[in-house]
């Protein structure tokens, strides 16, 4: 099994092997090229994003300030919208359904580090998938941690830290983020 295979399967892996370094460098180069484009170069921006991301449906918008680790592990649905400064650490698959709206300064962190210091210091890390359903709205400055699923129709309040799954159709807020009530 390669380190990429270990990473995708949720096992401990070494992110500093040449294969993964090269993949991250490719993603960083493509993200850099995005940042060099002027606002009027929408077609070029879409082309770079389609090259970077693993799977895209029809129309989508990702505003400047976008960063990711690999890109190839990101799937976005139709009419996906990510406002400024979106970070997706896609060491595991990170998937977004249709009609997902993400406010500025949000992060989706599939990457994690062992709690045990000796294991962590050895350079090993892990990753867990993140899944966001259809028709989800995520407020500004939200952090979504490894292994979280946000159900379709959920609304995540600004500033939340999502550490556990959020059921479909719920308004959820806080740190840690907790469901409050059904979406009206």
Provide the annotated active-site residues: 113
Q: Which contacts of 112-121 are long-range, i.e. CB under 8 A and separated by 24 or more positions? A: 112/145, 112/146, 114/12, 119/12
Which CA distances in Å does 22 have to 15, 16, 55, 152?
10, 10, 20, 35
Residue 58: per-residue pLDDT? 87
Concatenating the DSSP letter of every residue in 122-170 gives TTEEEE--EEE-SS-EE-TT-EE-TT-EE-TT-EE-TT-EE-S-B-TTE
pTM of the model: 0.96
Query: 33 burial class (0-12, 13-18, 19+ CB within 10 angstroms)?
Result: middle
pLDDT profile of the chain (184 residues), mean per 10: 96 97 98 95 96 95 97 98 98 98 98 95 96 98 98 98 98 98 96
Which pLDDT belongs to residue 106? 98
Residue 71's DSSP bridge partners are: none
């Amino acid at each position: 099994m390669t380190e990429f295979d270990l990473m995708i399967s949720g096992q401990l892996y070494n992110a500093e092997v040449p294969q993964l370094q090269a993949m991250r460098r490719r993603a960083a180069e493509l993200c850099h090229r995005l940042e060099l484009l002027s606002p009027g170069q929408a077609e070029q921006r879409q082309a770079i994003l389609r090259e970077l991301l693993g799977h895209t449906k029809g129309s989508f918008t990702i505003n400047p300030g976008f960063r990711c680790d690999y890109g190839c592990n990101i799937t976005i649905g139709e009419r996906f919208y990510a406002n400024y400064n979106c970070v997706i650490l896609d060491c595991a698959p990170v998937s977004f359904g249709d009609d997902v709206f993400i406010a500025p300064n949000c992060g989706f962190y599939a990457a994690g580090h062992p709690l045990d210091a000796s294991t962590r210091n050895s350079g090993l890390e892990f990753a867990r998938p993140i899944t966001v359903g259809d028709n989800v709205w995520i407020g500004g400055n939200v952090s979504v941690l490894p292994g979280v699923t946000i159900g379709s129709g959920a609304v995540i309040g600004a500033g939340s830290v999502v550490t556990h799954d959020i059921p479909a159709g719920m308004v959820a807020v806080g740190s840690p983020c907790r469901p409050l009530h059904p979406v009206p």
